[in-house]
Amino acid sequence: DELFAGVASRDDLLARLDAEFDREVLDEAKARVQLRVDPKTWEAFRLTAEDDLPAAAAGARLGMSVAAVFKAKSRVLKALNDEVRRLDGPAPED
């Protein structure tokens, strides 16, 4: 039982460390991307992706069309994906 508890505890710790690393990488990617995109583009992303505001409401708040909001969100998501890949480094070879 003690051996199993030790393994389970270690696995839980590793999972939490991995999740924290992923969160830190995403936070760093967000900071970098936010510096590179137009503030209105970032705000359209933030309102729709993080605050779950409908695109129409975000567009009304920002003076953007719904299509422009979706385009801004898509642009930021792609940039975030690219930045996370860059920060994570090359995939290890098996």
The secondary structure of residue 37, as a DSSP letter, is S
The whole-model pTM stands at: 0.78
- Give the tens place of pLDDT for each residue, 8-57: 777 777 888 889 999 999 999 999 999 999 999 999 999 999 999 999 99
93 three-class SS: coil
Catalogue the E-assigned strands of 4-71.
Answer: none
